[in-house]
Copies of this chain bind each other. A is one copy, B any other.
Amino acid sequence: MSNVIDESGLLAISTRLQRLSDQLRKDGLKIYESYGILFEPKWFPVIYTLHKKPVLSVVEIANEIGYTHPSTISLLKELEKKRLIKSKKDKTDERKRLLYLSPDGRILVEKMLPIWALMVKALEQLTNTTNNLMKAIDEVEHQMKLQGFFQRATLIKEHKGINS
């Protein structure tokens, strides 16, 4: 830790989070490659979601994975091109397009399950430290729901104003 940014602490937390996310994603890709499987980490949210909830519309998937719907659409396009998912019109609501895993997609998921289990084990090793990262994220997201970063900053500012 000789660099200024790591030492600046909380102010650089957004940068630190992103860096860690990138590292994990890159290593994730390497793990898939080491199994000779063509699977990109960015596909995980959609594929896993459709594995757990077999038929969903575009917006439902977007909500499940926490992306905007345009981002989701471009992911879906890519996965359809790879023939891992398919879609059909919803007969009761013509606006909706329903997505589901193709036979190829389901076969892929079966191959992935043991690899995902392995990844979970490696991630447990990495994150099960004094302060558990996953729990910390849950806790911070909970705090943000109670009151966001912006709102907290505003309140502190006003409080200071009153007292000065």
A residues whose Cβ falls under 8 Å from a Cβ of B: 3-6, 8-25, 27-28, 30-31, 34, 41, 44-45, 48-49, 52-53, 63-66, 116, 118-127, 129-137, 139-144, 148-150, 152-154, 156-157, 160
The reply to whether A16 and B122 form a contact with Cβ atoms under 8 Å apart is: no
Chain B residue contacts of A150, Cβ below 8 A: 27, 30-31, 34
The reply to whether B125 and A5 form a contact with Cβ atoms under 8 Å apart is: no
- Interface residues of A: mostly helix, strand, loop or mixed? helix
* Sample of 18 A–B contacts (CB below 8 Å): A3-B63, A4-B65, A6-B66, A10-B123, A17-B18, A18-B21, A24-B149, A34-B153, A118-B157, A118-B160, A121-B156, A122-B156, A123-B149, A127-B143, A129-B142, A130-B139, A131-B135, A133-B136
Chain B residue contacts of A45, Cβ below 8 A: 5, 12, 15
Q: How far is the CA of A44 from the CA of B18 in the complex (A)?
A: 14
